[in-house]
Structure 1
Amino acid sequence: MLIAEDLLLLAFDDTEGKPVSGIDNLDRAVAGALLLELTLLGKVDVTGDADEGTAGRIILRETTPVGEAELDGALALLAEEQGSKPKDAVARLAEDDPVERLLSGLADRGVLRRESRKVLKLFPVTRWPAADSRHEESLRAELHRVLVDDGEPDDRTAAVIALLVATKSVRHAFPTDDAEVTRKRAEQIAEGNWGSDAVRKAIDEVTVAVMVSVMAATVVTTS
């Protein structure tokens, strides 16, 4: 399961099959998740002082396909974005509309159900209720261990939490009895010193890019 797919399972109501109230900018969050996963795999990086050119720009470190269609498609797009700022790379990946493809993929694998109908007999609407919740239940149990029981996260769980923090979605995607304590713990994880320096650097850079990209999209939408 991709990090981006984990985000979607957390974001969508299992019964209603649509994003839970309060969750916005899913396209940017999912785009950031794809960029982050490729970064953690060593395929993509953000330039530093040791690289030629301007620091803080997208660069491909390794171009061999991953063997997963969505990641390989994102990798191909990022090859065209080398030298751009991370926030612009997130925006470009979001423009490719990965959310619908990932939801369709989850439905094809029996994790979600695809339910299409027309509202007022005119407007097509597709809902994605849960069909097999085993992976999501395992994911939520892991989040509970880390966010509620103060357990230490692995790299993947930390990445999911950091993306939820970046999009201000923690209390919506993972409601608990004490939302404020959970939010603070999530922020602690997002800013913490877990994992290797390389993993910490990757998550920091991508989540900042997601935050900036989401804010930019919000400004455009509300202007």
Structure 2
Amino acid sequence: MHTADDPDQPVDPTLAEDLMLLLFQPGSGGRSDTGHIAAEGTLFYALAGAVLAELALGEHVRAEEATRAARVGAVAANPPADALLRTAWEYMAQRPRGVQTVLAAIGPTLRAPVLERLVERGDIQREQRRSLGLFTTDVLLGDGGDRRAALLADVRAVLVDGADPTPRIAALAALVSASGALPQLHREIPWGTPVIERAKQLEQGDWGADAAAHAVARTMTAIVVNNVVVAAAVLPRA
């Protein structure tokens, strides 16, 4: 379990963890007690987007210009404490890079460590089961617990009820939308035109009046999310 005594282990969940937990679909793995992660086909881009968005929200990175093709660089005086975030920050600290380059570089290695954190926290359970008496596979169990329920309630309030989000929940909802997973969350977040329109607003950085003080982070996050949308559009959906 993560503790405050180890500086490389996070006390608070990262945005990437929150995203994967929200994408976890309980009872969808072919048996009532198993689940799967939605949008597996685009997951590595979405997780990378969550890492980059969190770095932006924490002012650990900045964009050189406010365009989709912007290059992003590390803020030298503000490295993140979390090891997962720091690896991405160090990559950008070498030199500024295009957002698409960063997403493609950091995304493929994120699934395993992010899932491991969720298992260590007890948000998701994992066990090995034998299939056809020959193959051993990992299966995901549980319902995501209270933390998934709370994240889901916050995102649903923004997308369905029109509540003004915090910057973190705005980024989370935008990333879920960018991943293409919202239709798969229909039983929990009713899928329809109002939800689609609100999600697209969040993707563009329209977070409401409460986010006015976060203009730089909002713009940077919108750049990241729109790059996830572009990348995800050419990948198969799962």
Bin the TM-score by the shorter chain.
0.7 to 0.9
Determine the structure 2 residue equivalent to 1:62. 76
Determine the structure 1 residue equivalent to 2:45. 28
Determine the structure 1 residue equivalent to 2:93. 79
Q: Deviations over 1:169-219 (max 9, x none)?
A: 222235434533322222233332532321221111101221233245x28
Q: Deviations over 1:142-193 (max 9, x none)?
A: 1221111111111011101111222222222354345333222222333325
Determine the structure 2 residue equivalent to 1:154. 166
Distance 1:114 1:129 in 2: 6
Task: For residue 87 of structure 1, report the CA deviation from its aligned partner.
Answer: 0.6
Is 1:19 aligned to residue 37 of structure 2?
Answer: yes
CA RMSD of aligned residues (A): 2.4
Determine the structure 2 residue equivalent to 1:6. 18
Determine the structure 2 residue equivalent to 1:52. none
Q: How many residues are treated as equivalent by the alignment?
A: 211
Change in Cα spacing, 1:215 to 1:132, as seen in structure 2 (3 Å) is closer
Task: For residue 126 of structure 1, report the CA deviation from its aligned partner.
Answer: 1.6
Q: Which amino acid is 1:67 matched to? A: A
Residue from 195, 198, 210 that aligns with 1:182: 195
Q: Which amino acid is 1:38 matched to? A: L
Contact 2:24 2:144 in 1 (8 A): no
Secondary structure, aligned partner of 1:42:
coil
Moved beyond 6 Å, runs of 4+: none
Determine the structure 2 residue equivalent to 1:130. 142
Determine the structure 2 residue equivalent to 1:214. 232
Secondary structure, aligned partner of 2:125:
coil
Secondary structure, aligned partner of 2:96:
coil
Contact 2:21 2:144 in 1 (8 A): no
Is 1:43 aligned to residue 60 of structure 2?
Answer: yes
Change in Cα spacing, 1:128 to 1:76, as seen in structure 2 (3 Å) is farther
Contact 1:58 1:85 in 2 (8 A): yes
Distance 1:77 1:186 in 2: 30
Change in Cα spacing, 1:121 to 1:47, as seen in structure 2 (3 Å) is farther
Change in Cα spacing, 1:57 to 1:177, as seen in structure 2 (3 Å) is closer
What's the TM-score once normalised by structure 1's chain length?
0.83
Distance 1:132 1:56 in 2: 36
Q: Flag structure 1 segments of 5+ consecutive residues without an equivalent.
A: 50-54
Task: For residue 131 of structure 1, report the CA deviation from its aligned partner.
Answer: 6.2
Residue from 184, 202, 219 that aligns with 2:220: 202
**Which region of structure 1 is more displaced relative to structure 2, 133-142 or 108-117?**
108-117
Q: Which amino acid is 2:63 matched to? A: V
Contact 1:10 1:174 in 2 (8 A): no
Contact 1:88 1:213 in 2 (8 A): no
Give me the identity figure in percent.
Answer: 27
Distance 1:181 1:38 in 2: 30
Contact 2:62 2:75 in 1 (8 A): yes
Q: Flag structure 2 segments of 5+ consecutive residues without an equivalent.
A: 1-12, 28-33
Task: For residue 122 of structure 1, report the CA deviation from its aligned partner.
Answer: 4.1
From the two aligned structures, give the one with the greater strand fraction: 2
Secondary structure, aligned partner of 1:24:
helix
Contact 1:107 1:113 in 2 (8 A): yes
What's the TM-score once normalised by structure 2's chain length?
0.78
